[in-house]
Chains A and B, each alone.
Chain A
Amino acid sequence: MVSFLFKRLLQSIIVMFTVALIAFSMFRFVGDPINNMVGQDTTQQERDDLRERLGLNDPVPVQFGKFIVNAAQGDFGRSYKYQVPVSDLIFARMPATLELAFVSAILALVIGIPLGVYTALKRSGIASKFIMTMSLVGVSLPPFLIGILLILFFGVILRWLPTFGRGEVIEFTSWSTGFLTASGLKSLILPSITLALFQMTLIMRLVRAEMLEVLRTDFVKFARARGLPDRLVNFKHALKNTLVPVITITGLQLGSLIAFAIITESVFQWPGMGLLFIQAIADVDIPIMAAYLVMIAFFFVLINMIVDILYYAVDPRLRADDE
């Protein structure tokens, strides 16, 4: 167990290191950082001072080292555009994105997995065929278009639900939540459906494919040949074996929710990290882009670690390697 986790941790560090290197290169080599920080009328003398002060004259590896040390403490420099620390911007926006991603993840899992199991077990049924066709329509609808259609229908035509922003939020020290107000919850509905729909269809199709694979195995056939009732065969033997591969890929998918939120946030003007990022791209605000990249990688690594531990708990074959 320890060696397994250690190995995973090492891999995660390599991932974070690589991402940090990319982020640093963006910051250092895309455009001139000084030009981006100062106004037109700054003298050469002032520029040189700033360059020296920011350590941009140091050897590149030293700069990278400093970058990593700072990043580990949450310091990504100042935004070119807003002239405030990037970390302040990001942390202020983070709750919005995380709440949205969390609700969407729950939606996608709670609906996606049962539908996948159902369509695998009753694969020639009419309901299954309908669900499968709908899921193809689901993956064919770009998320931003889903958002637009929902806005058009529930916002513009029916006027039932708010179409932009988070509604009222309540602040807890540095965390602002929309979970505790009626308008906050109402505002969550359309964006979270938009974000969840695509992942839901993916998870459903994945669960179905894996389940069909497992249902064809010899041990399922042997379980039936022993006279075990369908309920036991399907849910005790087949489903558990399906979950092993599903956990990994689902973990990856959910990790990508945070990044996919960019689109949803943009459609619904949701004040999260994604909206910040997309504006940063339009403004070529490199520090924000770099910080966002590192942030996403961190969440991904975190989710992956959790997935690995789950994996380990489910599959005895992995545990056996320790003995």
Chain B
Amino acid sequence: MENTIEKTRLERFLDSDVWHSFKNSPVAIGSFLVTLLIILSALFAPYIAPHDPFDLAVIDILDSNLPPAWELDGDPRFLLGTDDQGRDILSTIMYGARISLFVGFASVIFSMIVGITAGLVSGYMGGRVDAFIMRIADIQLSFPAILIALLIDGIARGIVPKEAHEEVAVYVLIFAIGISGWVQYARTVRGSTLVEKGKEYVQAARVIGIRPGTILHRHILPNVMGPVMVIATIHLAIAIITEATLSFLGVGVPPTTPSLGTLIRIGNEYLFSGEWWITIFPGAALVILVLAVNLLGDWLRDALNPKLR
């Protein structure tokens, strides 16, 4: 008899307002599918990409700067044309998205871990610890994320020997973008923690004798995750943009393993000579990805906070 009342996680999810709102939002479904498509094609790029743009044996310099297949000089082998080194644009986009998404997700996770921990501790402990963490956050907020990422990258260049630079570049980038984003999480989590801390279920746990660590982890954390997920989605879009921007500025990932931003940077040099496809297609891929993620984030925020609609 109890089983009829007890709902499984799936059943609860299917009955939730979030799922219901998702089902009825074509924008949410569409952007979810687009995001999924891009993630999958990036993930399986080595298997599904028409060419391997990094296999020097396959690349032919004679194929360089070919326009898209439907243009007059196009070559049906290269749907979206080729770049200056004869690499297939479609394939470089798929491989580039791999790097962009990897850096994006990794830096979001990094930010989340740092930010949530700082926010929970700051909100729950209060007093000096809180003042200290929030002061750091305030100072960091004085600088846009892009500047902090640039600085960290610049410092890393000063510390890491030149030979090793290319190898660590991606990790430096993840650290730089990740560290520049933690404040958002910390502030939100701190705010929610202050609210949750004042609620009576936390006081009840304290009266029972539950220790602060357990209270934070078991009681407060699950209750502050809603807004965190919204920020994380939007932050993913920002992280991808930041990565692209840094790579575009020439301080991101090295050209040997290009991300979408690197591809746009490379193509930008050919913009004036009329080879627009080298820039525009990676740019379009980037915008579509970021827009899809942003639409998802926007929908999620409304779905979790029905008042705002």
Binding site for B on A (CB under 8 A): 14-15, 18-19, 26, 30-31, 136-137, 139-145, 148-149, 151-152, 156, 209, 212, 216, 252, 255-256, 259-260, 262-263, 266, 277-278, 280-282, 284, 286, 289, 293, 296-297, 300-301, 304
Contacts and interface: CB of A to CB of B under 8 A. Distances in A.
Interface residues of B, number: 43
Contacts of B141: 252
A263 B279 CA distance: 17
Contacts of B250: 278, 282
30 contacts: A15-B142, A18-B139, A19-B142, A26-B155, A31-B158, A137-B287, A139-B237, A140-B237, A142-B286, A144-B244, A144-B245, A145-B244, A145-B286, A149-B283, A152-B276, A156-B272, A256-B143, A259-B146, A263-B146, A266-B248, A278-B251, A282-B250, A284-B154, A284-B157, A286-B158, A289-B151, A293-B143, A296-B142, A296-B147, A297-B142
Nearest to B301: A209
Contacts of A297: 142-143
Interface in B246-286: 248-251, 261, 264, 268, 271-272, 276, 279-280, 283, 286
A145 to B, nearest CB: 5
Interface stretch (B1-9, B223-231, B291-299): B291-299
A152 B276 CA distance: 8
B308 interface: yes
B184 to A, nearest CB: 12
Q: Main SS of chain B's interface residues? A: helix
B290 interface: yes
Q: Main SS of chain A's interface residues? A: helix
A165 B279 CA distance: 22
A263 B245 contact: yes
Most buried by A among B138, B144, B251, B271: B144
Contacts of B241: 140, 142
Contacts of A282: 250-251
Nearest to B162: A284
Contact of A262 (B142, B237, B249, B279): B249
A136 B288 CA distance: 11
A136 B150 CA distance: 25
Interface of B: 135, 138-139, 141-144, 146-147, 150-151, 153-155, 157-159, 237, 241, 244-245, 248-251, 261, 264, 268, 271-272, 276, 279-280, 283, 286-287, 290-291, 294-295, 298, 307-308
B283 A30 contact: no
A137 B280 CA distance: 16
Most buried by B among A15, A139, A212, A296: A139
Ranked nearest first, the 5 interchain pairs of A and B with the lowest CB-CB distance are A30-B158, A140-B291, A281-B154, A256-B144, A300-B142
Most buried by A among B141, B143, B272, B295: B143
Most buried by A among B141, B155, B307, B308: B155
B305 to A, nearest CB: 10
